[in-house]
Structure 1
Amino acid sequence: MAGTLPAAGPASAADPQRLTVDLSASEGPVMLGANGALYGLSDDGVPSDAALEPLKITSISQKPEGGAQHPNGDALTVSKSFFRNGGGEINVMMQDIYAKWPYEDLGIDDYLPKVDKIAKEVAADPNSDRFVYIPFNEPDQIWYKLGVSDQAQYEANRDRFFRDWKTVYERIRAIDPDARIAGPNEAAYHTRLLTDFLAFAKRENVLPQVMTWHELGSGSLRDFQAHYDDYRALEREAGIAPLKINIDEYANRRDLSVPGQLVQWVSMFERNKVYANQAYWDAAGNMDGNVVRSNIPNGGWWFFRWYAGLTGDTVKVTPPQANTIDTLQGLASLDTSRRQAQVLLGGSAGDTDVVVDNVSRSLFGRTVTATVAEAAWSGYEGRHAAPRVLARTKVKVADDGTVTVPLRGMHKMSAYRIVLTPGGSGTPATPSVPWTASHEAEEAAITDGKVYTQGTVSNANGYAASGTKDVGSLNQATSKVDFTVTVPKDGTYDLAILYGNQSGTPATQKLSIDGGDPVTLTYPSTENWTYRAKKDVRVELSAGTHTLTLAKGAAEVTLDRIDLTAHTAEPSASYEATLADIGGKPSYDYSSSAGVGTGALVLRSGDKAVFDVYAPRDGYYRVVPRASAPVRLALHGETVAAVPGRPLKLYLVAGNNRVTATAKYAALRSLDVTGDGSTAGTLSYEGASATLAGGTKLVDSAHATAGSYIGWLGNSADSTAEFTVDAPTAGRYVLVVHYAHNDRRDNGHAYNTDIMSRTADITVGDGEPRKATFKNTWSWDDYWTVGVPVDLKKGANKVTFGNATAWAPNIDRIELGRVIG
């Protein structure tokens, strides 16, 4: 981890880079426009509400209802969960009604009835005012070929497109008079086309309400500012008032999920106050590579959670090099009402001084507390705990109003957050930052394997890899990678392995230390060899140098990097109340910077603080409010009184948990969460204990917990599985379903993986069934979990799974934990 405030060890030979923030130079209110995604949602529940709501998504792009381009992600269907979780607006990619890519060109007469159907369905929706129609997608390449160099051919193609644009525009407006329409939606920015388009659209009264184009090259990090400035100049020359802009596809594969890359894109879009949606390169339903499974954060998710936490106005940030690919960039905000300044930065390794100018003493006082945290890259499918706080330091505001925060040993793929709050009295608690070291697989000793280059600027649409290289082709019996590691002392270390597994089944490797007896590691499936996930194990090492060997086992695994971190007794995190989402009008008290350093949030009746609490696995955790008076905590629909400083035993699901705190009156400093997910006291039932009906069968499997799973469930009202659950007390429980399935539809798309979800209706006793959604697990033999809150009576309860109209997932087992343990 980066050593910060002060620098750890000797100073770097090179002078630190400098990123300057001017708190007096407002750029306008924080817009959060750059957090969107194309096909970010696939189904109601994928991603989960707890993963979606904290991101405060302003726009997403999805296909029309029943569109044939992909098997899921229908705009009206996913709108329920999107709007339920505070989402802004949905762009309807109308041409995704077609099945092929590029879209089959059957002529405008074929398209118009489809346009009519889409417009009628959207107009009839009760939230129709929150949809935006995008009639054409990348017309510069598809159907119209507007990017041709021959001017005469361009003009012929252009005129055909303009005729069709007007026809479709007027067709939509005839059905939905209040429709908002976006376009022209080119695959890249074209001055020639936009000059002509604006003139035509203004003359014919068919101007879009939203201007859209795509930024999909690594060069966009260099060129977007010029594109934006040029477009605004074209508007002025045409006498058109500034239109809302949505860059409705941005970034390459190598950028998605990587905090240090994402901050470069987001900073330039937020600075210019445009909306922007990440591109859909792989699987729908994971916010374009930022949500693991359905509910688990990765490093990219935490970056966007930080972005969603910016409030007030954005302020001017001056990076070392503006508009330069793969360099240190940042964005910052100042909220005068909360007396907080935040800086998000990343994209470069090494040392940086973050210089914050014009820190108002009337707002912050003579000292500030600087809190520094890191969101690291954990892969596309690698879970990431709550970002580790690296430093909490009280800093004097210089006479010229400047505060300098040094960051040392930054990682290129990480993003960092600096929060400045008034210093107050007392001393912030020094964070415990364990020793850690990273080792690239390509730099290790490789036997019968091959080094591959991934995700470089020249191959921007390749997948990200740590150090831009990984090791694959480890498919021989003798294949292995020997890592030489040195640790500072005897003890237990957490070993994190960034890997890929495309075998379609759980794969294994043999881990040995210094040639000792090997231990078998099992790697769940991933989308492909380079869609990186993370395997966590623990090892015992003595002080000094060791060889860690990962040798081929069953199937094949690719290796990117390993991280060794000194193991702490139990995972723990303190969630700052002043940085939580709020409801009502709580006040901010910075009179003391003790503890987490960021002061306290003062809650009164009608106020609330909502925390995003990470759990590495389903189970029980100790939750302690640091408050001046009792508070009430709400989780999974259950509310419990919490006494300050006294631990509560609460059941958390794997991934993100939204915990709400309220009080009659309390100064809440933090919510402290400790534990590793204990299952002591939970109820567990294997699939074999269920009563099966209809065509449902118990199927033998070496990968299921007890050697079998419930299969062939659903697709008929009679095909069910019924568990009898014996609850020791009545109340709210979390039902955790261990499931697997690998439904997908291969439509021959060039790059999207069209995985599909399954659903099951869950009925408790004589209650109404509740539909739960289960995302594809990448293979039939990999078991994931979904947690569903249920109410049980004391004693025997019937819990029945079924699906009358489609197949439900295979079920390995179920667990139940009382929300309040």
Structure 2
Amino acid sequence: MAATLPAAGPAAAADPQRLTVDLSASEGPVMLGANGALYGLSDDGVPSDAALAPLKVTSVSQKPEGGAQHPNGDALTVSKSFFRNGGGEINVMMQDIYAKWPYEDLGIDDYLPKVDKIAKEVAADPNSERFVYIPFNEPDQIWYKLGVADQAQYEANRDRFFKDWKTVYQRIRAIDPDARIAGPNEAAYHSRLLKDFLAFAKRENVLPQVMTWHELGSGSLRDFQAHYDDYRALEREAGIAPLKINIDEYANRRDLSVPGQLVQWVSMFERNKVYANMAYWDAAGNLSGQVVRSNIPNGGWWLFRWYAGMTGDTVKVTPAQPNTIDTLQGLASLDTGRRQAQVLLGGSAGDSDVVVRNVPRSVFGRTVTATVAEAAWSGYEGQHATPQVLARTKVKVADDGSVTVPLRGMRKMSAYRVVLTPGGTGSPSPVSVPWSASYEAESAAITDGKVYTRGTVENANGYAASGTKDVGSLNQATSKVDFTVTVPRDGAYDLAILYGNQSGGPATQKLSVDGAEAATVTYPSTENWTYRAKRDVTVRLQAGTHVLTLAKGDAEVTLDRIDLTARAGAPSASYEATLADVSGSPSYDYSSSVGVGTGALVLRSGDKAVFDVYAPRDGYFTVVPRATETVKLALHGETVTAAPGRPLRLYLVAGNNRVTATAQHSAVRSLDVSGSGSASGTLSYEGRAAVLKGGAELVESAHASAGSYIGKLGNSPDSTAEFTVRAPSSGRYLLVVHYAHNDRRDNGHAYNTDIMSRTADITVGNAAPVKVTFKNTWSSDDYWTVGVPVDLRQGSNKVTFGNATAWAPDIDRIELGRVIDRP
């Protein structure tokens, strides 16, 4: 194969790193254990169903109902959306019933009535068998101080903990006899404690059903394997059968949202077949930093989407440097039924060779198609489009049964996926990768700003930054950053700016090219200066070298990196059917490699294929099924019959959209989606068009689209906003609400930002009201969108917003688009 990645930056070392995959060495079925999150869900709808379902999350950790530790994330409440979207089990962090951190130590007699209440509520839930009780959280540090060095003090503390463990364990079981209980749940791995704990728990018949501890240091990437091996040895020594393990907090801030970091963690957990939940360092409800707003993927989300797409068995992967921090690591799977091998890798810059050994000829034949794609880092709050396919090449399997896939110019913060499928006849179409280049802010010419170091191994709980540095303190009138860039040809370029904005509202900078008249770039708010988001703008450049200047506007903005990408027409993506989620018993046809894609998915009656389709904004997009026969596509509760190759105009919401394909009999190669999100044909109503009652009022605002928004809505049954919308035809529409609010609870927590959601009851005509959740927008002046499917009749329809018991969000405007734009 030719080089699969474009060159980026200085030439890499002469000898590429090697990641070896042995398809003959099965490690057991793909478990997907490492995709969990602590407080990954905050409310029903945060994250959205379309963001949650594709990841097939196996476990999350949440607080008990009414727990005072955080304002949301109650286990029973979020269980509805979690289980609805295929979630596995929920760990109930029982001590999160307390308000303070660390938990106030009021004694076991204060705790036991709380334990009773939690156990009774969980036991009464219809899905009680899918909950796991975690009675104590980090007892090595909190309440019991089990990590002390002095042996006598340790033994005294240990014995008090063991006594309380037995008491609480038996209390839970008395209420819920079938309860599954997890522990001891230390903040770090302690061999001394676990040896004693296993002996005690076995002797007293209070052994947990799930073994838990935390891996929260950058050293865990080096040390976890030794911890795991030591623990399994302790079990054998104690005569205890292997317990299920859940590392129910893992990773640092610098890892979350970063595909190249996360793949290192995921690979070691999946290899050892343990479950694991990412830590909660910042805001709840975004799957530990993988979901932007409520429905938009970032680079980390795409890594976990790839992980969720692995099927069959995992197989042995040998990296060049096993158990070494920040090095090339990976995991791989083989599904002989689907005739697919997949490799996920990342964590290191430069060149590497993925060497796949023992490629079974009975499954793949004499040639394979190797498809390589990249999930890049886009920040914690930065949107990431469908991952770019970098190469798709037909390769002959060597006489020794191996295939080598070279990756060149890898980026350290990116993750990569290699998919091998049978080669078939013909050759796949060449992949067109647009020219792109990245420029670090710290390497640019800085005036009245300061370079900061972020997210290094030494400061693992610092926020991630590209190249471990960013530029801040751009707070002077003369502050600016001059980027010198060189582009290959005249034309339009997409400029992506990785930034932070903690100013409390929308902030601006002035963007100029070669000192020409400046344009204003507006940046939505972020959680803090280093919780990176991404702003996309367009610039026109002539071939050659230019200076792009970002200068201070009305407030301070921090800068991390800019990316320039040549624009090649309207955005488009091809979603391969052979890589879609499926149900039923479809077959896979790789007889031809001609064209785009890896083959065809043959759907028959009863089969389904679900595509995860990205949209950069709410609006209409062109969707074309490439199939041999008619297929039916379902989106937002509407179904349309689609002829092969015939374009459809469908309304997609910003972020992820789940499109389901069914057919009586059709071979589907892909679902092709293009466009930028047209508003043509949509209905739009500003807040001032609504009839306001019961205290709801129109509030002037320079940041609202028409200079005002609807405020003081709700908190009373009489406070409503009623829009009259006129539908040109009856059918299913997407109601897109442009809203803002910045509710949060300040409880003095050391690091969690306790943002809160608002809800609104939306009533269309005489239909029953639907409760919709609106996540905090980081500022009352930043407007986000939420899409709600509604049914309208032709002509006038009343759409009413309200909330009888709490404040609804502020509403700027609403839009409605027919899901299927029928001629």
Specify the TM-score bucket, using the shorter chain as the normaliser: over 0.9
Residue matched to 2:434:
434
Residue matched to 1:412:
412
Shift of 1:90: 0.0
Residue matched to 1:164:
164
Percentage of pairs with the same residue: 87
Residue matched to 2:509:
509
Residue-by-residue CA offset, 1:656-680 (whole Å, 9 max, x unaligned): 0000000000000000000000000
Shift of 1:13: 4.2
Residue matched to 2:605:
605
Distance 1:197 1:249 in 2: 20
Q: Residues 302-321 of structure 1 correspond to what in structure 2 (within 5 A)?
A: 302-321=302-321
Residue matched to 1:796:
796
Residue-by-residue CA offset, 1:491-512 (whole Å, 9 max, x unaligned): 1000000000001100000001
Residue-by-residue CA offset, 1:330-351 (whole Å, 9 max, x unaligned): 0000000110000000000000
Could you tell me whether the CA contact under 8 Å between 1:282 and 1:753 is conserved in 2?
Answer: yes
State the secondary structure of the residue aligned to 1:588: strand
Shift of 1:432: 1.3
Distance 2:23 2:789 in 1: 45
Shift of 1:594: 1.8
Q: Residues 292-441 of structure 1 correspond to what in structure 2 (within 5 A)?
A: 292-441=292-441
Shift of 1:14: 2.2
Distance 1:123 1:240 in 2: 27
Residue matched to 2:759:
759
Residue-by-residue CA offset, 1:75-99 (whole Å, 9 max, x unaligned): 0000000000000000000000000
Moved more, 17-26 or 422-431: 422-431
Could you tell me whether the CA contact under 8 Å between 2:774 and 2:786 is conserved in 1?
Answer: yes
Could you tell me whether the CA contact under 8 Å between 1:26 and 1:314 is conserved in 2?
Answer: yes
Distance 1:522 1:307 in 2: 35
Residue matched to 1:190:
190
Residue matched to 1:664:
664
Distance 2:12 2:510 in 1: 38
Distance 2:135 2:9 in 1: 57
Q: Which runs of 5+ in 2 are unaligned?
A: none
Could you tell me whether the CA contact under 8 Å between 2:597 and 2:670 is conserved in 1?
Answer: no
Could you tell me whether the CA contact under 8 Å between 1:36 and 1:277 is conserved in 2?
Answer: yes
1:708 to 2:708 alignment: yes
Could you tell me whether the CA contact under 8 Å between 1:5 and 1:405 is conserved in 2?
Answer: no
Distance 1:606 1:16 in 2: 47
Residue matched to 1:268:
268
Shift of 1:597: 3.4
Q: Residues 119-158 of structure 1 correspond to what in structure 2 (within 5 A)?
A: 119-158=119-158
Residue matched to 1:618:
618
Shift of 1:7: 7.7
Q: 1:537/1:3 Cα in 2 relative to 1: closer, same or farther (>3 Å)?
A: farther
Residue-by-residue CA offset, 1:284-303 (whole Å, 9 max, x unaligned): 00000000000000000000
Distance 2:766 2:53 in 1: 31
Distance 1:778 1:816 in 2: 25
Could you tell me whether the CA contact under 8 Å between 1:730 and 1:793 is conserved in 2?
Answer: yes
Which amino acid is 1:578 matched to? T
Q: 1:764/1:429 Cα in 2 relative to 1: closer, same or farther (>3 Å)?
A: same
Shift of 1:169: 0.1
Q: Residues 487-502 of structure 1 correspond to what in structure 2 (within 5 A)?
A: 487-502=487-502
Residue matched to 1:220:
220
Distance 1:372 1:11 in 2: 21
Residue matched to 2:736:
736
Which amino acid is 1:294 matched to? S
Which amino acid is 2:412 matched to? K
Q: 1:773/1:189 Cα in 2 relative to 1: closer, same or farther (>3 Å)?
A: same
State the secondary structure of the residue aligned to 2:745: coil
Which amino acid is 2:414 matched to? S
Could you tell me whether the CA contact under 8 Å between 1:350 and 1:408 is conserved in 2?
Answer: yes
Which amino acid is 2:378 matched to? S
Residue-by-residue CA offset, 1:588-633 (whole Å, 9 max, x unaligned): 0000112233100000000010000000000000000000000000
Distance 2:679 2:427 in 1: 37
Distance 1:519 1:422 in 2: 51
Q: Residues 225-244 of structure 1 correspond to what in structure 2 (within 5 A)?
A: 225-244=225-244
Distance 2:740 2:142 in 1: 38
State the secondary structure of the residue aligned to 2:78: helix
Q: 1:203/1:630 Cα in 2 relative to 1: closer, same or farther (>3 Å)?
A: same
Residue matched to 1:522:
522
Q: Residues 54-73 of structure 1 correspond to what in structure 2 (within 5 A)?
A: 54-73=54-73
Distance 2:19 2:472 in 1: 38
Residue matched to 2:574:
574
Could you tell me whether the CA contact under 8 Å between 2:6 and 2:409 is conserved in 1?
Answer: no
Which amino acid is 1:581 matched to? D
Q: 1:555/1:5 Cα in 2 relative to 1: closer, same or farther (>3 Å)?
A: closer
Shift of 1:268: 0.1
1:655 to 2:655 alignment: yes
Shift of 1:127: 0.2
Distance 1:239 1:97 in 2: 35
State the secondary structure of the residue aligned to 1:4: coil
Could you tell me whether the CA contact under 8 Å between 2:139 and 2:187 is conserved in 1?
Answer: yes
Residue matched to 1:108:
108
Residue matched to 2:279:
279
Residue-by-residue CA offset, 1:471-528 (whole Å, 9 max, x unaligned): 0000000000000000011110000000000011000000011000010100000000
Which amino acid is 2:248 matched to? D
Residue matched to 1:783:
783
Distance 2:686 2:362 in 1: 62
Could you tell me whether the CA contact under 8 Å between 1:223 and 1:323 is conserved in 2?
Answer: yes
Which amino acid is 1:497 matched to? I
Distance 2:123 2:362 in 1: 51
Distance 1:72 1:596 in 2: 45
State the secondary structure of the residue aligned to 2:80: helix
Residue matched to 1:480:
480
State the secondary structure of the residue aligned to 1:549: strand
**RMSD of aligned Cα (Å):** 1.0
Residue-by-residue CA offset, 1:518-556 (whole Å, 9 max, x unaligned): 101000000000000000000010011100000000111
Distance 1:53 1:287 in 2: 12
TM score, norm. by length of structure 1: 0.99
Which amino acid is 2:642 matched to? A
Residue-by-residue CA offset, 1:207-242 (whole Å, 9 max, x unaligned): 000000000000000000000000000000000000
1:676 to 2:676 alignment: yes
State the secondary structure of the residue aligned to 1:228: helix
Shift of 1:8: 9.3
Which amino acid is 1:774 matched to? F
Distance 2:319 2:553 in 1: 47
Distance 1:104 1:3 in 2: 58
Shift of 1:447: 0.4
Could you tell me whether the CA contact under 8 Å between 1:3 and 1:390 is conserved in 2?
Answer: no
Distance 1:149 1:40 in 2: 34
Which structure 1 residue ranges, 4+ long, deviate > 6 Å from structure 2?
5-11
Could you tell me whether the CA contact under 8 Å between 1:737 and 1:815 is conserved in 2?
Answer: yes
Distance 2:81 2:9 in 1: 49
Shift of 1:429: 1.5
Could you tell me whether the CA contact under 8 Å between 2:183 and 2:208 is conserved in 1?
Answer: yes
Could you tell me whether the CA contact under 8 Å between 2:426 and 2:592 is conserved in 1?
Answer: yes
Could you tell me whether the CA contact under 8 Å between 1:7 and 1:407 is conserved in 2?
Answer: no
Shift of 1:11: 7.2
State the secondary structure of the residue aligned to 1:767: coil
Distance 1:448 1:63 in 2: 45
Distance 2:13 2:287 in 1: 40
Distance 1:584 1:7 in 2: 42
Could you tell me whether the CA contact under 8 Å between 2:327 and 2:348 is conserved in 1?
Answer: yes
Q: Which runs of 5+ in 1 are unaligned?
A: none
Residue-by-residue CA offset, 1:169-200 (whole Å, 9 max, x unaligned): 00000000000000000000000000000000
Q: Residues 4-153 of structure 1 correspond to what in structure 2 (within 5 A)?
A: 4=4, 12-153=12-153
